[in-house]
Chains A and B, each alone.
Chain A
Amino acid sequence: MIVMQMVDVETYGTDYVKVTWSPDMAGDTQTAQIAKALTPLGFDRVILSRCDSESAITWGVKLGIHNFQGRFLDAMTAAVTMAQCPKAAACTLPQCNRRHGVIAGNPRAECGDNDMLDLFPSLKAIRL
C-alpha cells in the first residue's frame, strides 16, 4: 500500500500489478486511497495476492478487482474440485489442496484423477 502512495503504478506500463492484501487495507480511508491509486490502471489489471481470508475476496470484489491469488483461493479450489471429482472419497481436503499446489512429485502421483486436478474449476463469488 505504501508503494502505491509513492509511485504511479501505471507509469511502469505492465500488463498486471500485484497488490498484496493486508487486513489494514479494509479501512475506509485506505480503501479510498487504494481505489484512487488503481483507477488509472484499471481494476481488470490488478491481481490481489496473499488472500488468506474471505474478507480479502469480499473487499477485492467490492472494489472491482477480478483476479485473486492466495491460500483462501487454493482452499476453495480444492473444495470445489473435491465436490466435482469422482475419486474424492479417497482424499481429504488438505491432500487435495497440497496436490493442487505442485506440478510434479509424490503429492501429485497420489491423486486418483490428475486430469481433474489440472482442470481448474469455475469459482463464483456473490457480487455484493
Chain B
Amino acid sequence: MTPPPPSPAAPVGATVLPGAAETQLVDYLTRLDRHRTDRRAVLIQLSGLQPINRREHHLRAASSPFAPLVNVQNAQAFNLTNADLMVVYKAAVQDAVEAAIVKLRFMFSDDPMILKEETSTLSFCTWYSLIEDYTEVMDLARGRLDEIMELQRRAKVRAEPAAPDKRSRGVPLTPDLLTKAEAALDQADLANLMRRQAVCALVGQSSPQPVFNELFISILELRQALMPQVNVASSPWLFQQLTETLDRRVLSLLNKHDDRTLESDISINLNVSTILSPEFQKFDDNVRPGTRGTIVLELQKIDIFADLGAYLFARDFARDRGYRICIDGLTYAMLPYVDRERLGADLIKLVWEPSLADEAGGQSQAIRRIGPSRIVLCRCDSPAAVDYGQSVGLSLFQGRHVEMLLQTDLRRRGKARPR
C-alpha cells in the first residue's frame, strides 16, 4: 500500500516560527502511523554544536544535503526550533542519508561535539526505525512541542507587564528630520536636560569616593522634549552628526553657568571635531587654568577611529591645555584592539555587561595591558558589576548602582552631595 502524500514539512533551511516544525513533525508522524513499514528517522543534534557553528547559514548548509531526498519525496526534513534536524525517510535511501550525514560530520569536523563524539554521551545522530521506535519518536516530537508552547506562554506572561522600549520606538531618523532636530536644538533650553553621574573609586568595602562627575544630556529626555516620534538611535551616523550640534549647545550651557560647575572635577562627552571648534576655544577661555587638569574629555571610539589624524591633533591640543582624555563606550570584545597608551588616552570606559562575570579570568590580560587603574567600569547597574570589577583589580566605577551607594553613604554621613 502506498503511504498517503506527506504533509508539507518546512522547506529545507527555511526560517519558521518557533514550534512550527515540531507541529508539522507531529502531524506528519500521525499521518504516517499506518504506513510505518520501511520508514526510518534520524535526529541530527545540531543543537549540541558550538554556538559559532550554529548560525543561520550553518543550519541552512546542514539542511542542504537532504534537499535532493526531500524533493523526490523519499524524505522529509524538519528544522526543529532548537536547531536540531529530524529527517524521516524511506529505508531505500538509507545510504543517501548516511552519505549526507558524513558530509555534515565533515562540515563540523572541528566542533568539539564531533571531535569528542566517541567519548561523549551526547551523540551527533540518533537513528530510529519507525516500526519499532514510532512511539519514542512521537513522544520526542510532542515533548519538544510542549516545551516550546510552555516557553512561549512564559515569555508572553513576562512580556505583558513590561513597558515597550522607549528608545527603539518611533520613525527612523532621516537627514530631513536631522535638520529639523538640529534647528530645534539651537532654540531649546537644555539646562533641564543636563544630568550628572559620579565616577567613584570603590576599593574593598570602603565608602565610594567620587573622582569626577560626568555631565551629559539625557538623550531619552531630549527626544521626549524635541521629537518624541523619532527614533534618534536608528542611524548611528546621523546620530553622530546630531551629537556635534549637542556638543556646541552643552559647551555654551557650561559657559553660561554662573555657579562653580567648571571649577569642579567633571567630564563631558565631546566629538573630536568639537575640540577643534570655536565653541571649545570659548569654553577653554572660561576654564580657570588650574582646573583644566580636573576636566576629562570623553571621546567615542567610533569618532576616534573614523579619523585618527584629527584625533591625534585634537588630543595633543587638549592635552597641551591640560585636559585629560577618556575613550568612551568600549565593550570587552573591543579591548584587544585598543591600545590606550599608543592612543595617548588617560582613561578608558569599559561598559559592564553581565556576561563579563561568566568569563572572569579570561579578561585579565587585556585589562592588565590597559592598566586597571586606567579603566572606568561604567553602566554598573548591579552589585555584580562592582564585584566583578574589583575581582579583576578595577577601582573606578560608574552607574546607577554606584550612584545609589554614593547617596546611601552621603545620607549616612549626613552630607550633601558635593558638586
Contacts and interface: CB of A to CB of B under 8 A. Distances in A.
Contact of A7 (B309, B312, B339): B339
B312 A2 contact: yes
A36 to B, nearest CB: 13
B337 A12 contact: yes
B154 interface: no
A6 B309 contact: no
Contact of A3 (B308, B336, B338): B308
Interface string A5-20: 1111001100000000
Contact of A11 (B308, B309, B336, B342): B336
A8 B309 contact: no
Nearest to B312: A2
A7 B338 CA distance: 7
Contacts of B338: 7
B343 interface: yes
Chain B interface bracket (under 10, 10 to 19, 20 to 34, 35 or more)? under 10
Interface in B298-349: 308-309, 312, 336-339, 342-343
Contacts of B309: 2
B312 A11 contact: no
Contacts of A2: 308-309, 312
B336 A6 contact: no
A4 B312 CA distance: 13
Nearest to B344: A6
A3 B308 CA distance: 7
Interface centre among A3, A7, A8, A11 (most CB of B within 10 A): A7
Nearest to B338: A7
A8 B342 CA distance: 10
A108 to B, nearest CB: 33
A2 B308 CA distance: 7
A20 to B, nearest CB: 13
A8 B339 contact: yes
Contacts of A3: 308
Contacts of B339: 6-8
B311 to A, nearest CB: 9
A67 B343 CA distance: 29
B308 to A, nearest CB: 5
B316 to A, nearest CB: 13
B189 to A, nearest CB: 39
Nearest to A12: B337
A11 B309 CA distance: 21
A3 B336 CA distance: 15
B208 to A, nearest CB: 34
A3 B342 CA distance: 10
Contacts of B308: 2-3, 6
Contacts of B336: 11
A5 B309 CA distance: 11
Contacts of B342: 5-7
Interface in B103-151: none
Contacts of A8: 339
B54 to A, nearest CB: 21
B213 to A, nearest CB: 30
B95 to A, nearest CB: 38
B370 to A, nearest CB: 14
Contacts of A5: 342
A6 B338 CA distance: 8
A3 B304 CA distance: 11
Contacts of A11: 336-337
Contacts of A7: 337-339, 342
A8 B339 CA distance: 8
Nearest to A8: B339
A3 B343 CA distance: 10
A12 B336 CA distance: 9
B303 to A, nearest CB: 14
Given A2-B312, A6-B343, A12-B337, 14 more contacts: A2-B308, A2-B309, A3-B308, A5-B342, A6-B308, A6-B339, A6-B342, A7-B337, A7-B338, A7-B339, A7-B342, A8-B339, A11-B336, A11-B337
Nearest 4 A/B pairs, CB to CB? A2-B308, A6-B342, A2-B309, A6-B308
17 contacts: A2-B308, A2-B309, A2-B312, A3-B308, A5-B342, A6-B308, A6-B339, A6-B342, A6-B343, A7-B337, A7-B338, A7-B339, A7-B342, A8-B339, A11-B336, A11-B337, A12-B337
Interface of A: 2-3, 5-8, 11-12
